[in-house]
Chain A
Amino acid sequence: MDCQRAQDEILEAFDTARPADVQAAVDAHVAACASCAAFARKQRALDRHLSTMLVPPRLTPHVRAAVRERVRRERRLFWSDLLPDLVHFASCGMVMVIGLVWLPISAPVVLSLGAIGTVLTHAVLTAFHESLDAADEFAS
């Protein structure tokens, strides 16, 4: 076994169990080679230090509570974002029903005008919301 192979096997031993015959060959090489013996010593010391130093920190229980709170807040925001659109479409629907009942014009015309009105007012509402969001972002 040459030095390169011996050092590779020394490194490998820290993460993968080595077969007994390979380990015996490495041991024999290390016993006879001062530089590989020094390499093995250094790597063992390094492994000890890293094991001591790289201990995972503990997660505080507040993380889970914070995740739950953020999810709750997002859900509320989702519904509060959706609410103006729901109110808008419901109102437009009601106006169209009233128009169909009361206006002396044909139903297809009322429905077409209602649809156009709904789309236009929705575009105006969306633009208004976006300008509010932009103003919020600018302020923060």
Chain B
Amino acid sequence: MGADVQRLLHERRYDEALEAMLDLYEGKVFRMAVAMLRDAGRAEEVTQDIFVKMWRALPGYDGRASLSTWLYAIARNTCLSAVRAESYRKTSALDDVPEPSVESATPAVDWERLLSRLPDAQRHVITLFYFEERSITEVAAMLGVPEGTVKSQLHRARRALADIME
């Protein structure tokens, strides 16, 4: 399939290349955005941004990196910008944060909160690991880091989560 996209790019059929890339990577890019943004609605918007940016950049794709590596780099940068914009918005609107509700004091494990206590890199790795059906290779490609780094982050995250749960 990657070769088909390369052929479409070679023939300058960018709209068809976009469609092919959507077929191949839409789900993966969305899951990456969810892992980084922790908000499915926002992740959908950012997924759109990523593919529009990719479409704009398609004529300049030089084939030095594989298409997936190239797309994941665009996706990572777009997600990181969105995270930064989001954290700025949250910090600027602290007055709007509601008081904790009575329900939030329930003793059940709040997994979202547990995960949020991990450093970003570990949280991204552990979320993507389960999203991508435990594929270290895929997570490494998405995050642009070696597989060994993914494994060590994963192990640190597991140890940290077990410690937090105690």
Interface of A with B (CB < 8 Å)? 8, 11-12, 14-16, 39, 42-43, 46-47, 49-51, 53-57, 59-60, 63-64, 66-67, 70-71, 74
Nearest chain B residue, comparing its CB with the CB of A66: B48
How long is the Cα–Cα vector from A74 to B158 in the complex, in angstroms?
45
Contact partner of B130 among A39, A51, A59, CB < 8 A? A51
Q: Report B's interface with A, CB cutoff 8 A.
A: 15, 18, 22, 26-27, 30-31, 34, 40, 43-44, 47-48, 51-52, 55-56, 109, 111, 126-127, 129-131, 134, 136, 151, 154-155, 158-159, 161-162, 165
Q: A53's closest neighbor in chain B, by CB?
A: B111
A-B residue pairs in contact (CB < 8 Å), sample of 25: A14-B134, A15-B129, A15-B151, A39-B162, A42-B165, A43-B162, A46-B158, A46-B162, A46-B165, A50-B111, A50-B126, A54-B126, A54-B127, A57-B34, A57-B40, A57-B43, A63-B26, A63-B44, A63-B47, A67-B48, A67-B55, A71-B15, A71-B55, A74-B52, A74-B56
Contact A59 to B47, CB < 8 A, known contacts A15-B151, A71-B15: yes
Rank and list the top 8 A-B pairs by shortest CB-CB distance, nearest first. A54-B130, A56-B131, A57-B40, A11-B155, A59-B30, A67-B51, A56-B31, A53-B111
